[in-house]
Structure 1
Amino acid sequence: MTSLIRGLALLNVAELVADLGGDSDALMRTHGIDPGAAGDYDTFLPYASVAAVIGDAAQELDCPDFGMRLARRQGLQLLGPIAVILRNAETVDAAIESVSRYLPHYVPHDFTELIREPHAAIFTLSTNLRRPAHRDQMVEKGLGIAMDAFRLMLGEGFVPLRVTLQHRRIAPMESYREMFGCPVEFEQEVNSVHLPPHSLNQPIRGRDAAALALAENYLSGIRPDLAVADHVRGKIQRLLVVNQADLVAVARAMSLHPRVLQRRLAESGTSFEEILDDVRRDMAWDLSATGMQISQIATMLGYSETSSYTRACRRWYGESPRQLRARRRGVPESAPARLPHTLGAGGPTPRLGHSPRSG
C-alpha cells in the first residue's frame, strides 16, 4: 500500500526553492508531483515523493538545513485543525496528548508521544514507514514544526532542555542553534524535544473552548487511512520501546481481541509474527548505525538473549550484528565506534530503555 500525505506537506516549498535559486516545478515533476498540488489540503500525494522533493532540494541546492528552513516557513499552518487544538487546549499537557491522539488520523505515518520523567517531559516523534529516503530532512522539519507549537503555547522565548535526533548531523551546527537554541545530540535512540516538567501544567492563554470542541469533533470523525498491517506495524514500533510488543498488548492497544486481529492480518496476507520480524529487522538496521552496544540493540528489539538477535541478524542480513554495525557506520569492524556528537553542554540523557554508547 502506498503511504499518502496531504499536499499541505509541500506548503511554501516552491518559494523556498526559488529563493535558493532552484526550479521547484521541475523538481516536483521529476518525482511525479503536479506543482499545483503543493500546499493543497485536499490533495493526497505519495509520502516517498514528497520526501524525495525535500531531500533532493537539500542536496541539489546545497542547503543541508532545508527541512528546518521549510519548517520555519510552514509553521502551524501545516497542522490544519490540529493547530486549533494546540491554541485552545486547557494546558500544554492536554494539547500534547491530543496531538498524539489525533495526529495518526491526520498524518497516518507519523506518531508522537509524551514520556514523563522526574526531570523532563520528553516529546518524541517517529514514523512507521519502512526506511523512507530523506528521513533525516523530514524529521528535522517535523521537530521544527513542533518547536513552533511549543513557542506558541509556552512563549516565543521558550528553549528546550535538549533535543535528540536519531540520525547523524547533516547541517551546520549554527542551523541547529538557530532552530532549537539548546544542546542537540545526534545518533540517539529517539527523535525528541525535552521540556521542563513544570511546563506541562502551564495553561494556554486566550483559549476558546468552543473552537476546541469543534476541532476535536472534526478530527474524531476522521479514520486513519491505514491497512490493518500498517496499523499493527506502528503499534509494534511504539510498544517495543517498553518491551510490550506482543500480540495481546498490540491487540489491546487497537481495542481488538487477539484472535480478531490475527484473522484480519491473515485476510490481508500476513501475520503478527511476520510484521514483528519485519519491524525488528528495520530497527536493527537503524540502531546499528548509532554505534549502540549489541546487547542494547537486542534489548531494544525485545530479545531476552543476545544470541537470539545474532541468529535473527544473520537470517536478515547474512552477517553478524557487529558486522552489520560496522557496515552501517562505514568503519572497519575492528575500529572503535565514535561517541554520539553533542551540540552544547548538558547532563546525561534520561533513559528511554537504554542510552546508546559505543561498544
Structure 2
Amino acid sequence: MIIRDSQISAAYLRGLVDYLILKRQDASLFLKPFQISEAAIGEPQQRLPTRLFGAMLEAAGALLNDKNIGLHVGEQIKPGQYGVLGLSVMNCKTLREAIVRHERYERLVCDVGHTTYRLAGDEVILSWDSCSPDLSRHIAEENIASWTTFARWITGADVSPALIRFQHSRPQDIQEHERLFRCPLQFSCDSIEVRFPAAYLDLPLRQHDPAMLVLLDEYADRLLLQLNPEADFRDKVKAALTDLLQAGDISLKKTAQTLELSERALQRRLQEEGCNYQQILDDTRRELALRQISDKRLDLSEITFFLGFADQSAFQRAFKRWTGRTPGQYRRELEPVS
C-alpha cells in the first residue's frame, strides 16, 4: 500500500522545538519560514504534512551542524509529544498492553507508516511498514530513537533492542547510533524493524492507572473516528458530542461548529439519516453510561459529570429510562454471583 500525503500531529514537532531550545536556538525564529507558530504545536488535533517535518529536520540539522539530527530529537522524547497515544501507553499495565495501544492508535500521531508486531521464537519483531515518499533517513531515525527512549522511560528499565534494521544506507559514522541503541545495526534493508526479547512484553509500566486508561481509550477511539472520512455521519456527531460533553457545552450550535457545519445543515443531515440531534445526544450518553457503569473504579458522581448532567438525580432519571433500573441497581447486577 502506498501512502500519499502522509501527515503528523502538530504536537509531534514539540520534540524538535525542545531540542532547538536545548541547543540555545530561537525556536520562534526557526519556525517562522515554515509558517508555524509555537502555539500551533500545542494543538494535537492539528495535522501537518510529513514532508514539512522532514524539511524541518533537515534545516535543524544544517543549523546545528548535526548529521544525526533525527537521533538526537528522538532521544529527547517526552510523553506529551505523543498526545493521547503517549498517555494511553503510559497508563497500561505491561509493555504487552502498551504495544496493543501503539498499533491501534499510532495514526493519531503520524500516518507515514504502519506498525505491526509479531512473535518469532523468543523475539518480538516490530515492523514499521512505509512506502511513503515523505520518509527520510532523519524521520526514520527519529521515530526508532523515540520508541527506544520512550520504552526505557515507561518501564523504568535500561532495556535495549536485540537488533535494528533500517532501509536507508549506512551513515559514514554510526557511533551515535551505537551509543543510543546499544545493539547490532543493519542498513540498506528491505524493511524497518526493531527486534527485542519477548520477555520484555511482561515488563510492568511505572504509571499504570486502569481508570485513567479507560477514559483515554474512549477519547482515542473518538479521535480515530474523526480521522476517518468514511465514518458514518451519526458516528461523527457522536464523536463530537462525546468531546463536548466533557467540555460542558452540548448545544446544537457548538456541535455544528465542531463539525464545521451550520445548525441547519447539521439538522438536515441528521434528518436524512432518520434521526435528530436530541436522539443522537441521548444515544451517546446511554452508550457511554453503560460502558462506564461497568467500571467500578469510576464513582457515579464522576460518570454524572463526564456525561454532562446537571446533577446526579438527572443522571439517575435518564439511566432508569434507558435500562429500567437505577445506576446502583444496574451495577450490583453486574457483580458475579458467589
2:161 and 2:134 map into 1 onto residues whose CA distance is: 27
1:203 and 1:19 map into 2 onto residues whose CA distance is: 31
Structure-2-length-normalised TM-score = 0.59
Kindly tell me: are residues 165 and 209 of structure 1, through their superposed partners in 2, closer, same or farther at Cα, counting changes over 3 Å? same
Which residues of 2 match residues 11-160 of structure 1 at below 5 A? 11-17=14-20, 20=23, 24-127=27-130, 129=132, 131-132=133-134, 135-160=136-161
Map Cα deviations across residues 97-132 of structure 1 (whole Å, 9 max, x no partner).
221011124433332111210131011223353x11
Kindly tell me: are residues 60 and 168 of structure 1, through their superposed partners in 2, closer, same or farther at Cα, counting changes over 3 Å? farther
**Partner AA of 2:161 in structure 1:** P
Aligned to 1:163: 164
1:125 and 1:2 map into 2 onto residues whose CA distance is: 17
Map Cα deviations across residues 154-198 of structure 1 (whole Å, 9 max, x no partner).
433112111111111337322112221111111112222211112
Secondary structure of the 2:190 match is coil
Residue 219 of structure 1, CA deviation:
0.7
Aligned to 1:225: 227
Structure-1-length-normalised TM-score = 0.56
Stretch deviating more after TM superposition (218-227 or 162-171)? 218-227
Kindly tell me: are residues 195 and 224 of structure 1, through their superposed partners in 2, closer, same or farther at Cα, counting changes over 3 Å? farther
2:15 and 2:221 map into 1 onto residues whose CA distance is: 28
Kindly tell me: are residues 45 and 171 of structure 1, through their superposed partners in 2, closer, same or farther at Cα, counting changes over 3 Å? farther
2:127 and 2:58 map into 1 onto residues whose CA distance is: 22
Secondary structure of the 2:127 match is strand
1:81 and 1:162 map into 2 onto residues whose CA distance is: 28
**Partner AA of 2:76 in structure 1:** R
Are the counterparts in 1 of residues 168 and 187 from structure 2 also a CA contact under 8 Å? yes
Map Cα deviations across residues 244-277 of structure 1 (whole Å, 9 max, x no partner).
xxxxxxxxxxxxxxxxxxxxxxxxxxxxxxxxxx
Are the counterparts in 2 of residues 51 and 138 from structure 1 also a CA contact under 8 Å? yes
Are the counterparts in 1 of residues 154 and 207 from structure 2 also a CA contact under 8 Å? no
Are the counterparts in 1 of residues 15 and 78 from structure 2 also a CA contact under 8 Å? no
Secondary structure of the 1:81 match is helix
Residue 65 of structure 1, CA deviation:
1.0
Are the counterparts in 2 of residues 108 and 225 from structure 1 also a CA contact under 8 Å? no
1:179 and 1:108 map into 2 onto residues whose CA distance is: 25
**Percent of aligned positions that are identical:** 19
Kindly tell me: are residues 57 and 155 of structure 1, through their superposed partners in 2, closer, same or farther at Cα, counting changes over 3 Å? same
Kindly tell me: are residues 208 and 132 of structure 1, through their superposed partners in 2, closer, same or farther at Cα, counting changes over 3 Å? same
Residue 212 of structure 1, CA deviation:
1.1
Q: Give the number of the structure whose alpha-carbon radius of gyration is greater.
A: 2
Structure 2 portions without partners, runs of 5+: 231-338
RMSD value over aligned CA atoms?
2.6
Secondary structure of the 1:200 match is helix
Map Cα deviations across residues 203-238 of structure 1 (whole Å, 9 max, x no partner).
33551111111111111112263667xxxxxxxxxx
* Runs of 4+ displaced beyond 6 Å: none
Kindly tell me: are residues 36 and 215 of structure 1, through their superposed partners in 2, closer, same or farther at Cα, counting changes over 3 Å? closer
2:122 and 2:61 map into 1 onto residues whose CA distance is: 36
1:226 and 1:126 map into 2 onto residues whose CA distance is: 20
2:172 and 2:179 map into 1 onto residues whose CA distance is: 12
Aligned to 1:8: 11
1:126 and 1:91 map into 2 onto residues whose CA distance is: 24
Kindly tell me: are residues 35 and 102 of structure 1, through their superposed partners in 2, closer, same or farther at Cα, counting changes over 3 Å? closer
Secondary structure of the 1:74 match is coil
Structure 1 portions without partners, runs of 5+: 229-359
Kindly tell me: are residues 204 and 220 of structure 1, through their superposed partners in 2, closer, same or farther at Cα, counting changes over 3 Å? same
Aligned to 2:254: none
Kindly tell me: are residues 216 and 192 of structure 1, through their superposed partners in 2, closer, same or farther at Cα, counting changes over 3 Å? same
Aligned to 2:198: 197
Are the counterparts in 2 of residues 21 and 61 from structure 1 also a CA contact under 8 Å? no
Residue 14 of structure 1, CA deviation:
3.5
Secondary structure of the 1:193 match is strand
Higher helix share: 2
Residue 55 of structure 1, CA deviation:
1.9
